[in-house]
Structure 1
């Protein structure tokens, strides 16, 4: 009986480690210095750095700094983190990255809005039209540099919920808005951004 129990535990551990999703129903993913960043993410080491559980990204107006998970997001998931745009105006969470297409959920200081949009990102080009995309939904919010914001994103039954500081939020149907329904996770900045307390879990 004891041998069967141990074998079951080992099998569960193997299945979790070999899972092609960034989190499982049994284990939430947290970004920490104990887990090497390169193991789970694709990025330029000159643009993204993990130090003391804080992920710092650097980009510019002409070349956005992007980091992308190697594993898929679950079908239904929840993402929580704190973010601080220390320089420039744009921070974006790239959801359900599928080839070059993804969902844009972002904070934009120039327009003073939080936004849901339809995105395209070509890794090999910074040309206009090969990154970013149209706005689908937006809501006004005062956004500043050097201020921490609490972000919560939830995708459940093809419904997307995007909230900042538990006060300003947007919601939409992925299907009705013709948005990507599966894919990977990424973060994008046109300046400097700091991310901490990142948790990704299946729901």
Structure 2
């Protein structure tokens, strides 16, 4: 009996570790070690590093600093993180990246807004029109450099909820604007950004 239970447990762990999604119903994904960054994400080490539980990205107007997961997001998920835009104006979370299209959720300091948009991402081309995209919905929020913000994203039944500091919130239907309903996760910066407390959970 003990042997059967042990085999069952090993099989379950193997299924979780080999899962094609970045998290499963039995596991929350957190980023704590540099080896996880290398194994779970497609990175340019000049643009993104993980040190002391802090993920730091460096980019410019061209090229942006981009980090993309190797695994799919679950169908329904929550993402929590703390972010600090230490230089420049843009921090973007790419949701459901698939076939060069994704959902843009971002903090934009120049316009002082948080934004949901329809994005395109060509990993081989930094030129205008090949990355980024149109704004669908935005809400004013005072944003500063060198200040930490708590970001929460939830996708449930094709409804997207995007909030910052639990006080400024956007909601949008993925179906209404024909936005991707599956895909990978990514991050973009046009300067320097620091991310801590990243947690991805199936719901």
TM over 0.5, shorter chain: yes
CA deviations on 1:104-135 (whole Å, 9 max, x unpaired) are 00000010000000000111111111110000
* Alignment root-mean-square deviation, CA: 0.8
Q: Which stretch shows the higher mean deviation, 174-183 or 28-37?
A: 28-37
Residue of structure 1 equivalent to 2:56: 56
In structure 1, distance between residues paired with 2:168 and 2:133: 22
Residue of structure 1 equivalent to 2:190: 190
How many Å apart are 1:36 and its aligned residue? 3.1
Aligned residue for 1:8, secondary structure, equals helix
CA deviations on 1:134-181 (whole Å, 9 max, x unpaired) are 000000000000000000000010000000000000001101121100
Kept in 1: contact 2:72–2:182 (CA 8 A): yes
Residue of structure 2 equivalent to 1:125: 125
Moved over 6 A (4+): none
- Asked if residue 109 in structure 1 is aligned to residue 91 in structure 2, the reply is no
Q: Which stretch shows the higher mean deviation, 29-38 or 85-94?
A: 29-38
Aligned residue for 1:134, secondary structure, equals strand
The 5 Å alignment of 1:9-158 reads 9-33=9-33, 35-158=35-158
Q: Tell me, which stretches of 5 or more residues in structure 2 are unaligned?
A: none
Aligned residue for 1:133, secondary structure, equals strand
Q: In 2 relative to 1, CA 125–34 (structure 1 residues): closer, same or farther, beyond 3 Å?
A: closer
In structure 2, distance between residues paired with 1:20 and 1:36: 15
Residue of structure 2 equivalent to 1:162: 162
TM-score (norm 1): 0.98
In structure 2, distance between residues paired with 1:48 and 1:93: 14
Kept in 1: contact 2:34–2:50 (CA 8 A): no
How many Å apart are 1:34 and its aligned residue? 6.2
Q: Tell me, which stretches of 5 or more residues in structure 1 are unaligned?
A: none
Q: In 2 relative to 1, CA 151–77 (structure 1 residues): closer, same or farther, beyond 3 Å?
A: same
Aligned residue for 2:103, secondary structure, equals strand
